[in-house]
Structure 1
Amino acid sequence: MTTDPTGNPAVMNVLITGGRAPVALELSRLLRDAGHRVYVAESARHHLCRVSSAVERSYRVPPPRHSTAAYIDELARLVEELDIDVLIPLCEEIFYISASLDRIIGCRVLCAGPEMLARLHHKADFMIWARELGFTIPVTRLLNNPEEWNNQTDEAARMGEAWVYKPAYSRFASKVILPGKFTGEQGGLAGSRRLAAPPGLCPAAPWVAQQFIKGAAICTYSVVHQGELAAHAAYGSGYRTGKAGASVYFEPLEHPGAFEWIQRFVRATGFSGQIGFDFIQAEDNVLYPIECNPRATSGIHLFAPEDGLVQALLGPELLAQHGSISIPRSGKKAMLALPMLACGLRPGPGGLNRWNRAFRAAEDVIFRKEDMRPFREQFRVVYHAYRLARQNKISVTEALTDDIEWNGE
């Protein structure tokens, strides 16, 4: 890889996948501000990057989940035609790309191998791996059929224990069942009512039961090169889409414990690529991993152009040589303004005053005066997701990822 006289990567052609995600828009703008040419490959008809001035051109490609071979063929064609230097997958299409790396030649692809990605994505397998590496984890059980589900929930009710239930393959906290949701008891699932097994529960679509840990939630985003951190951000979120949904507010945190945990984990596994972790800092200060996202996460929104995220993504070996790690230094808070406005209807602890202060302190990740069209595009994105959700009888959140998600296929 060539560099300019300052040691930064020379101008590159970068192909991004997952253009529907706000982080894709954020990264496109960061890359453009650093002088690089950004192209986007996306299967959705409407998406944020499609209309952004930060993007040279957006290409609509086949859906990776439903037409995998055609999707990979089109990516390979774009890599050759556009003379792409780096391909950066951002959402769950990464699993389909990783499984076909031998067919995408001529550029660097920022992702790990398929076996590692699958192990990190599966919510039980990741916990087993963390335990094998010596980390303290919440008690976690894999539930493969209704009988195992009934035994688990009956025992939890009998013992008065609090558990969290979620699909082994899921994203954005969709379908998560928190303690007390069905009994009305905040502390747990104690009570006479049985928690019915979810439809479709089987070895191909298992669920996970995880010990409920009371404490503060901590999320992270990191760029890793051959087991060494090149960029890192930790953040908290006081506002989500629902009680257990996806975060819509991102507040930077300095958390040495999370940094050390991740550094130890990626060194032990030799991971390369983008990765995010969700932790709970328990009341006794023990840090528990909850799940892993081996892809981009919302921590990207915390990086300003001068923070060096672009260099970490395009030239991580340069940072590794000098032992440098790019971190957000501006202290900026970020939010998704539309769902954050919806949070104002049910502001939670602290009420409207706390919500109002948070809203005023943060920057919308989509709105930019010099790049207005993505702000308008988001309404089209939501509308089409709503129609798909109605048609397929799924949630809007699920509709947003229906054609790219990977569930162990």
Structure 2
Amino acid sequence: MSTRSGKNVLITFGRSFLTLELARLMNAGGHNVFIADSMRFPISRFSNSVQKVFRVPRPKFEPREYVDEIARLVHAESIDLVIPIHEETDILAMAQDQFPPECELLLSDFLTENRLHNKFEYQVLLDGLGIPTLKYAQVRSEEELTALDFDRPFALKQVYSRGSQEVYKVNPGEVPEGLAFDPLNPWLAQEWLKGEKYCTYSVCHRGKIYAHTVYPVRYAINGQSCLTFEPIIHPGIDEWVAQRVKEIDFTGQIGFDFIEHPDRGLYTIECNPRSTSGILMFEPHNRVDRAFFGDNDEVIRPDPDARKMLGPGMLLYGWRKSALEGNTLRGFARDYRRTDEVISQRDDIGPLAGIPLAMGNILLNSMRYKVGLAEGFMHDHEWDGQQI
């Protein structure tokens, strides 16, 4: 056991660059960092900011075994705080009674987590709070799909889905053929609105924000999953997020996706009640680790001139036309050169050297589950509404 004076922190989903960055930030704050993942070689394994890495069962396919192992690690390593990163958050939320009271799980109760995660239930929640929403409907069958009464284009996506998965843009009277209908994971039809897109990231305890940032959507995988991150100040979004977090008494990490129309104003599209890429913009001197324990008085924000990117993602997707409206190779090269890559750090070069092994694991996952590379990255940590 380490003799460092900080807390013992267990972070899940060790393959994620978000986990790697959070491990570095926690380590810089003096805490002892432990990592859990179902892969043998998650990128965080190679970081000198990590004390130990544990291989655990796959939460999507072995949820009970996953919870049992995380609970065992909490006892064995005297963990003070568990920080879930991806959709294993929902699974852990269903099993909070298995953890000792002296260990905090940075998440909310399962009902809250699920209402925010489920894209249809999230819109229902907003309706109940009196928040304007884009027109929406749940679609559970071919009959409901053909009966939709949208008079303008709409998005069609499953209620449990994530940025790597397909979103259909559907024109009125034209419906996609061959859709599969899963009773546990129906579809959401949501009005398609053009406008400026923004994402947020916040760390919260009991309805209060302790760290927060807003960033515009620029380079992104098919316009969905951001590849570059630059913080901005948007008072309207700041106020909106603070009010919603307070109303639902939220604890954990949370991100909202917004679209702002010049005439109709601001709408939230969906919510991610877990870690998002906003964490990548914080630096050690920001001391965002304090927010995870609720130790700060003022809301912690990243430096206003922060410019970060996911280097491997930019090289794979950022140069494509679909990554940015009006994208050119010259513009891509310019932006790539002037943006800081989040994996490479002079005092922690292990993750850069470990990329081939980490990517090899993801490729094996893609082959094993017969999914694309982006989905293979997270497939065994997804949660689509199943009870454990």
TM range (shorter): over 0.9
In structure 1, what is the Cα distance between the partners aligned to 2:60 and 2:340? 33
Question: Mapping of 1:220-231 within 5 angstroms?
Answer: 220-231=200-211
Instruction: Report how far residue 144 of structure 1 moved.
Output: 0.8
Partner of residue 371 from structure 1, selected from 330, 340, 348: 348
Residues 53/370 of structure 1: CA separation in 2 closer, same or farther (3 Å cut) = same
1:138 lines up with 2:134 in the alignment: yes
Q: Equivalent residue for 1:88?
A: 83
2:25 is aligned, of 27, 30, 37, to 30
Q: CA deviation at 1:93?
A: 0.9
In structure 1, the partner of 2:92 is 97
Mean CA deviation greater in 395-404 or 286-295: 395-404
Q: Residue 150 of structure 1 contacts residue 196 of structure 1 at CA under 8 Å; is this kept in 2?
A: no
Q: What TM-score does the superposition give when structure 1 sets the normalisation length?
A: 0.88
Per the alignment, in what secondary structure is the counterpart of residue 223 of structure 1?
strand
Residue matched to 1:174: 165
Alignment correspondent of 1:165: 156
Work out the CA distance in 2 between the residues paired with 1:379 and 1:210: 39
Alpha-carbon shift at residue 345 of structure 1 (Å): 4.2
Which whole-Å CA distance do the structure 1 matches of 2:86 and 2:138 have between them? 25
Q: Once structures 1 and 2 are overlaid, which stretch shifts more, 347-356 or 109-118?
A: 347-356
Asked whether the equivalents of residues 232 and 304 of structure 2 are also in contact (C-alpha less than 8 Å), the reply is: no
TM-superposed CA distance for 1:262, in Å, is: 0.6
304-313 vs 355-364, which deviates more?
355-364
Q: Unmatched 5+ residue regions in structure 2?
A: none
Is 1:76 the counterpart of 2:71 in the alignment?
A: yes
**How much has 1:257 moved relative to structure 2?**
0.9
Per the TM alignment, residue 330 of structure 1 is displaced from its structure 2 partner at its CA by 4.7
SS of the equivalent of 1:178 reads: strand
Determine if the alignment matches structure 1 residue 265 to structure 2 residue 244.
yes
1:57 matched to 2:52? The reply is yes
1:394 and 2:361 equivalent? no
Deviation at 1:197, TM superposition (A): 4.5
CA contact (8 A) 2:199 2:255 kept: yes
> Residue 384 of structure 1: which of 361, 373, 381 is its match?
361
Q: Any idea what SS the aligned residue of 1:58 has?
A: strand
Aligned to 1:198: 179
Partner of 2:215: 235
Alignment check: 8 A CA contact 2:164 2:375 kept: no
- Does the 8 A contact of 2:231 with 2:304 survive in 1? no
Deviation string 1:146-187 (CA, Å, 9 cap, x unpaired) is 1111222xx55xx4x1111111001125111135xxxxxxxx
Give the whole-Å Cα distance in 2 for the aligned partners of 1:150 and 1:387: 39
Residues 173 and 398 of structure 1, relative CA distance in 2, 3 Å threshold: closer
Which one-letter code corresponds to 2:334 in the other structure? R
| Alignment deviations for residues 308-340 of structure 1 (CA, whole Å, 9 cap, x no partner) | 3110002x1x33xx4x21111252111111221
- Structure 1: tracts of 5 or more residues without a match: 1-8, 180-188
CA RMSD in angstroms comes to 1.9
Offset of 1:194 from its aligned partner? 3.9
CA shift digits 1:220-248 (9 cap, x unpaired): 0001111111110111231112x233111
Shift of 1:19: 0.8
Taking the aligned partners of 1:223 and 1:23, their CA distance within structure 2 comes to: 14
Cα deviation for residue 397 of structure 1 reads 2.0
SS of 1:252's equivalent in the other structure is coil
What does the per-residue CA deviation read over 1:8-46, in whole Å, with 9 as the maximum and x for residues that have no partner? Answer: x96111111111111100010011111111011111122
Contact 2:344 2:351 in 1 (8 A): yes
Measured after TM superposition, the shift of residue 190 of structure 1 is 5.2
Q: How has the CA–CA distance of structure 1 residues 197 and 262 changed in structure 2, closer, same or farther, with 3 Å as cutoff?
A: farther
- Alpha-carbon distance in structure 1 between the residues aligned to 2:217 and 2:300: 21
Q: Does residue 151 of structure 1 match 2:121?
A: no
In 1: Cα distance, 2:205 partner to 2:370 partner: 41
Comparing 46-55 with 325-334, greater Cα deviation is found at 325-334
Instruction: Tell me which amino acid in the other structure corresponds to 1:109.
Output: L
Taking the aligned partners of 2:74 and 2:228, their CA distance within structure 1 comes to 34
Q: 3-state DSSP class of the match of 2:90?
A: helix
1:123 CA displacement: 0.2
Range with greater deviation from structure 2 (220-229 or 282-291) = 282-291
Moved over 6 A (4+): none
Q: Hey, what does 1:360 align to over in structure 2?
A: 337
Contact 1:47 1:378 in 2 (8 A): no
CA separation in 2, counterparts of 1:215 and 1:313?
33
Structure 2 counterpart of 1:89, which letter?
A: P
Conserved? CA contact 2:39–2:361, under 8 Å: no
How many residues were matched structurally? 379
- CA drift of 1:124 comes to 0.7
CA contact (8 A) 1:150 1:197 kept: no
